[in-house]
Structure 1
Amino acid sequence: MRIAIANDMFMAVEVLRRVVEKVPGYKLAWVAYDGAEAVSKCAADTPDLILMDVLMPSMDGVEATRRIMSQSPCAIVMVTASVNRYTAKVFEAMGYGALDAINTPVFGDDGLLNKIAAIARLIGKSSEQRSLPIHRPESLPPLIVIGASTGGPQALTTILSQFPQDFPAAVIVVQHVDAQFIQGFAAWLNEQIPLPVQLAITGNTPQLGKVLIADTNLHLVMRPDLTLGYDKEPLDFSYRPSVDVFFRSVAKNWTGKGVGVLLTGMGRDGAQGLKRLREAGWHTIAQDRKTCVVYGMPKVAVELKAAVQVLPVEAIAPICIKILPNSKLSG
């Protein structure tokens, strides 16, 4: 896999270079020392992956990501020295198409290597090709489950900002983002929408008028007693948490019905899970090609006939509002 580095700090470039050169099969494509240079080099020689700094002179990583994804798209991971300070910029870049984000690594830290390996599997550049008598509550709230990846933060804001504070449903979101950013993501989303947003913790149950976000680098699951939990299995999924794992657990264990939504993102995660939800009687929605930053996950869902409806992102919330209170669920 050919990997490029865009970073204005010499020491950071050297650390990233050593990470890339540590693994047989990874090759350094080029180095750019500001965003404008990265855009130019990517147009001339598009790599498989760019490790993109957030702050750079001349043009920052956010604008460079926007231009690259519109002109010569490839996988991009944002690299930043400070998660808390640059959270808003990280999610802005993800809105333009960056796949994920991670702190600038220190020597001996394999977090970035694990991230690169996951993306290699996602884009097909990896050699590792692999594919519960319970007490249940008597009444269950209407439930909306949403999966998102590349471009997801902005798509989620568009949808969730349309739900009123007294929205009569529970919402659970799985967004592909590294665990170290998830708390900042929840705080950022809390500022954008009327509903309260919290990280899902083990033992939580879906609650009316509240948005729960998958936390950690484990898979969020709905357990047979209808509480939420986390599971390290399956180990070989490209993304942790996986939308597929969560959707399948909901289809298996949630005795009520609801709406399943699969949003913009690279790869296939969530498509099979959305199909399981449809087969279980849920109303399922895939975001349309025109409004996706990357038409990957929803495209696969459409091909599998997993979606009852294929809608532009701005039309998804009105359908949820229409369907859930009236229980007009279709399969």
Structure 2
Amino acid sequence: MASLPNTSARPRVVVADDSRLMRRILSDALSRQGFDVVAGAANGDEALAACNEHRPDAMTLDLHMPGLDGLGVLRALKAGKATSVPVIVVSAFSPAHGARAVDALAEGAFDLVAKPAMGESMDEFTKELARKVNDAADSGKARARRRLTPPTKPAKVTPLVNKPATPRAAAARPARTGGKKFVMIASSTGGPKALGELIPKLPSPLGSGSVIVQHMPPGFTASLATRLDGTSRLSVVEAKAGDAVDPKRLLLAPGGAHLRMENDGRVRLSDDAPMGGLRPRADLTIEDVAKIYGSNLLLVVLTGMGKDGLEGAKAVKKAGGRILVEAESTCVVYGMPRAVAEAGLADEILPLNELPAAIAREAGA
């Protein structure tokens, strides 16, 4: 008798959506990408039961379901009412849906995928879904391994000594007061939750201005800006073409566009092709502000998958700027910060709760 194929290495996934058609679409898409879809769930209670029964590596979650909805599922998981599992929210976009999706990320969802609108590519959606579900599964396994590993005493982080900044013509930079720094924040997976903890603790005014590049699908960044604005002393807005930097305002790059900065400190939005699957790409914005602000730039790299920010960090160090990165202990995914830290570019590596004071101090708030 021929042996069955070994599927133990295939990430095991639960698909939760109240639409039978969408469950089928998601399940088929994931199966074609090499995942083992172990269960489907039509509501939140079924999703929690499936997590307890199958102990999957990841779960896709619709937010609008009868009875216990997606936010209720995330809160139940956080409260330990079911087996912990990394969650990818799969949501249609509308202003209301966008706000709920940002709420879901704040409640601990690993990442977000926008359901394709009419006429949009199913192939691109399938690739993004598979990539993020795989990242979520890998992250969950990594966290489990860390829980089983005896803790070690953390190595002392020695701040690096910056090289002198390359002199630049004053006319090439926006006016700034008292040598205050421009603050550039880059984040990805886990970023909305981290930003929700970080930004409300920052002072206003902050340095000479500030900008965030957070990887999110188009449309959802407006909801994130609104959420952050409601809890922060800084005014947080989704950036528009022509916006000028302001110490009392924090600009958030819109999903689906690269945020570029002109020499006069005004925003330009670019629809150039995604870089490494990302638009916005933090590297592009960082390289722009490094040229403009030179040694009066502070780069902050938060939790995120991949290495976006690494090339930008090299430009920051070359220009004489400073770099803070989030410590692994508080990252959802220690990818972007790790890339910068392991390249020897970080001046300080700090847990999330210590970053607000460090940013205020460095920026000259």
TM range (shorter): 0.7 to 0.9
Matches within 5 A, 1:122-141: 136-137=172-173, 139-140=175-176
Aligned to 1:151: 190
**1:287 aligned to 2:332?**
no
SS in 1 for 2:211: strand
SS in 2 for 1:85: helix
Aligned to 2:150: none
1:196 is matched by which residue type in structure 2?
Answer: S
SS in 2 for 1:290: helix
Aligned to 2:338: 299
The question of whether the paired residues in 1 share the 8 Å contact of 2:295 and 2:321 is answered with no
Aligned to 1:130: none
Q: How far apart in 2 are the matches of 1:32 and 1:192?
A: 35
Aligned to 1:90: 101
Q: 2:88 aligns with which of 69, 77, 80?
A: 77
Shift of 1:182: 1.6
2:112 is matched by which residue type in structure 1?
Answer: D
Q: How far apart in 2 are the matches of 1:73 and 1:244?
A: 31
Structure 1's unaligned 5+ residue stretches are 126-132, 327-331
Matches within 5 A, 1:108-257: 108-110=119-121, 113-118=123-128, 120=130, 136-137=172-173, 139-140=175-176, 142-233=181-272, 235-255=274-294, 257=296
The question of whether the paired residues in 1 share the 8 Å contact of 2:294 and 2:316 is answered with no
- Larger deviation, residues 296-305 vs 218-227: 218-227
- 1:249–1:72 distance in 2 versus 1, CA, 3 Å: farther
Structure 2's unaligned 5+ residue stretches are 1-9, 136-168
- 1:306–1:116 distance in 2 versus 1, CA, 3 Å: farther
Aligned to 2:62: 53
Q: How far apart in 1 are the matches of 2:174 and 2:324?
A: 27
SS in 2 for 1:192: coil
Q: 1:100 aligns with which of 112, 132, 157?
A: 112
The question of whether the paired residues in 2 share the 8 Å contact of 1:219 and 1:242 is answered with yes
- 1:257–1:122 distance in 2 versus 1, CA, 3 Å: farther
Shift of 1:241: 0.8
The question of whether the paired residues in 1 share the 8 Å contact of 2:238 and 2:254 is answered with yes
- Larger deviation, residues 54-63 vs 283-292: 54-63
2:110 is matched by which residue type in structure 1?
Answer: A
CA deviation string 1:36-77 (max 9, x = no partner): 444554573645x64320133464323545639x96655x43
The question of whether the paired residues in 1 share the 8 Å contact of 2:59 and 2:85 is answered with no
Shift of 1:206: 1.6
Q: Which has the larger radius of gyration?
A: 2
Q: How far apart in 2 are the matches of 1:296 and 1:62?
A: 26
The question of whether the paired residues in 1 share the 8 Å contact of 2:99 and 2:220 is answered with no
**1:6 aligned to 2:42?**
no
Matches within 5 A, 1:21-40: 25=33, 29=37, 30-39=39-48
- 1:228–1:120 distance in 2 versus 1, CA, 3 Å: farther
The question of whether the paired residues in 1 share the 8 Å contact of 2:173 and 2:293 is answered with no
The question of whether the paired residues in 2 share the 8 Å contact of 1:261 and 1:274 is answered with no
The question of whether the paired residues in 1 share the 8 Å contact of 2:33 and 2:130 is answered with no
Q: How far apart in 2 are the matches of 1:65 and 1:221?
A: 35
Q: How far apart in 1 are the matches of 2:312 and 2:237?
A: 23
Q: How far apart in 2 are the matches of 1:269 and 1:60?
A: 33
Q: How far apart in 2 are the matches of 1:275 and 1:122?
A: 27
- 1:209–1:290 distance in 2 versus 1, CA, 3 Å: same
- Normalising by the residue count of structure 1, what TM-score does the alignment of the two structures yield? 0.79
Q: How far apart in 1 are the matches of 2:103 and 2:253?
A: 20
Q: How far apart in 2 are the matches of 1:270 and 1:135?
A: 27
Aligned residues: 313
Shift of 1:311: 0.8
Shift of 1:286: 0.8
- Normalising by the residue count of structure 2, what TM-score does the alignment of the two structures yield? 0.73
- Identity level (%): 25
1:84 is matched by which residue type in structure 2?
Answer: P
Q: How far apart in 1 are the matches of 2:362 and 2:91?
A: 41
1:175 is matched by which residue type in structure 2?
Answer: Q
